[in-house]
Amino acid sequence: MALAGGYAGTIRNLAVDASTKCIVQGLGKSSTFHSKLALGMGTSIVGGVGPGKGGQSYLERPVFNTVREAVHHLRPTATAVFVPPLAACGAILEAIEAEVPLIVSVAEGVPLKDQMTIMAALHSQSKSRLVGANSPGMANPRGCRLGISPPVTMAPGPVGIASRSGTLSYEAASSCKHIGQSYVLGLGGDFYPGTRTAEALSFFMDDPTTEALILVGEVGGTMEEEAAELLLRDKRYRDAEGCTRKPVVGFIAGRNVPPGKIFGHAGACWRDGLGSADQKRQAWTEAGIRVVDTIAETGAAIEEEMKKRGLFSHTSLG
């Protein structure tokens, strides 16, 4: 990885597949519904965690009162956190303290002070990586789904997708389903997501199963500019001709959002001093990303870019 120390060193924890042992925190109706879908996709769910529910079963798997107990008995490497927003901070901190390598939280509406508490905890350690919160989660179509992303939009393949918006991640996945995806990462719409666009970019550039990338950004914050800077700064991500080492297609949502207006969720708010959607598009273009005008164009665009490099023949068109 481009950065190896501290929290940055946990970017590699985003690598999951059918062998990844997962637990579920929060055992309500929603988590049960989505866990059944995940099992149908091949996800290895080995147990659940619910305070006061230890000794019970969840989808015929053991339940423990705490994450630490589950880690002791099951040795999971990932947890899907289906806990309401006001309790999400405690659940995520519990997973960090238990050193679960990958934590995925879907809760929308985690208080800002809790987000800051989570960020402080994440950046004080080097064992756990968070995706979310306010996220649809992540999936490897080859057999691991953590969160709520719809399996119907996915197929195994070589395109890595990272999106701040959950809905747009589904649309991007659907647009390239005929090519297939290596991973679909829903980074989340909060002000302080556990994994940022540049970190997802770094992961995909180093991931051997990813041949091409689709990045989906939006107004608000600086995540898109960080990704552009990484592409321009890190020579490992460029080829001898100066192009991105792997083809990258991007889409920026919110071109018509006026300053000060929240677009969709908390983190998508264009403020004075932060780049507009058009400025973000320009930054990506200058970094070598092919930027399209609509999310529906991302699949066709990445197919064209892959064909230019002779990559499309390696995909399955099922």
In tens, the pLDDT along 165-220 reads 999 999 999 999 999 999 999 999 888 999 999 999 999 999 999 999 999 999 88
Is 244 a member of any domain? Answer: yes
Q: Is the pLDDT of residue 150 over 60?
A: yes
Domain boundary among 90, 109, 134: 134
Q: Closest by alpha carbon to 195, among 92, 280, 269, 272? A: 92
Is 46 a member of any domain? Answer: yes
Question: What pLDDT score does 274 carry?
Answer: 63
Domain boundary among 134, 158, 189: 134
Q: Is the pLDDT of residue 316 over 90?
A: no
Asked if 126 and 181 sit in the same domain, the reply is no
Q: Is the pLDDT of residue 289 over 60?
A: yes
Asked if 21 and 128 sit in the same domain, the reply is yes
pLDDT confidence of 256, banded at 50, 70, 90? confident
Asked if 15 and 45 sit in the same domain, the reply is yes
- pTM for the model stands at 0.94
Question: What pLDDT score does 257 carry?
Answer: 75
Strands 57-58 and 61-64 turn out to be: antiparallel
Out of 34, 123, 265, 314, which one is annotated catalytic? Answer: 265
Q: Is the pLDDT of residue 148 over 70?
A: yes
The span from the CA of 275 to the CA of 6, in Å, is: 29
Min mean pLDDT across 203-207, 287-291, 308-312 is at 308-312
pLDDT digits (tens, 9 = 90+) for 37-95: 999 999 999 999 999 999 999 999 999 999 999 999 999 999 999 999 999 999 999 99
Asked if 147 and 219 sit in the same domain, the reply is yes
- One DSSP character per residue, 184-200 reads EEE--SSSS-SS-HHHH
Question: What pLDDT score does 317 carry?
Answer: 46
Strands 57-58 and 129-131 turn out to be: unpaired
Task: Please report which residue ranges of the chain form alpha helices under DSSP H.
Answer: 29-40, 67-74, 85-97, 112-122, 166-175, 197-206, 223-233, 277-286, 298-308
Is 113 a member of any domain? Answer: yes
Asked if 142 and 127 sit in the same domain, the reply is no
Question: What pLDDT score does 276 carry?
Answer: 84
Min mean pLDDT across 24-28, 136-140, 311-315 is at 311-315
CA distance from start to end of the chain: 32
Mean predicted confidence (pLDDT) in 111-136: 97
Q: Is 242 exposed, middle or buried (0-12, 13-18, 19+ CB in 10 A)?
A: exposed
Domain that holds residue 96: 6-134
pLDDT confidence of 258, banded at 50, 70, 90? confident
Q: What is the CATH number of the domain that holds 90?
A: 3.40.50.720
Residues 6+ apart with CB under 8 A from 53: 27, 63, 65
CB 133 within 8 A of CB 90: no
Asked if 235 and 178 sit in the same domain, the reply is yes
Q: Closest by alpha carbon to 151, among 177, 130, 189? A: 177
* E-assigned strand segments in 14-60: 21-25, 44-49, 57-58
Asked if 49 and 196 sit in the same domain, the reply is no
pLDDT digits (tens, 9 = 90+) for 223-250: 999 999 999 999 999 999 999 999 999 9
Neighbours of 65 (CB within 10 A): 14
Is 314 a member of any domain? Answer: no
Q: Is the pLDDT of residue 271 over 60?
A: no
Asked if 30 and 124 sit in the same domain, the reply is yes
Question: What pLDDT score does 2 carry?
Answer: 39
Asked if 24 and 78 sit in the same domain, the reply is yes
In this structure, what token pair is assigned to residue 18? 């059918």
Domain boundary among 85, 109, 134: 134
Mean pLDDT of the chain: 93
The total of structural domains in the chain comes to: 2
Q: What is the CATH number of the domain that holds 289?
A: 3.40.50.261
Asked if 36 and 68 sit in the same domain, the reply is yes
- Does the active-site annotation cover 314? no
The span from the CA of 311 to the CA of 237, in Å, is: 17
Q: Is the pLDDT of residue 101 over 70?
A: yes
Backbone φ, ψ for residue 315 (5° rounding): -90, 160
Asked if 171 and 117 sit in the same domain, the reply is no
Please give the DSSP secondary-structure letter assigned to residue 139: E
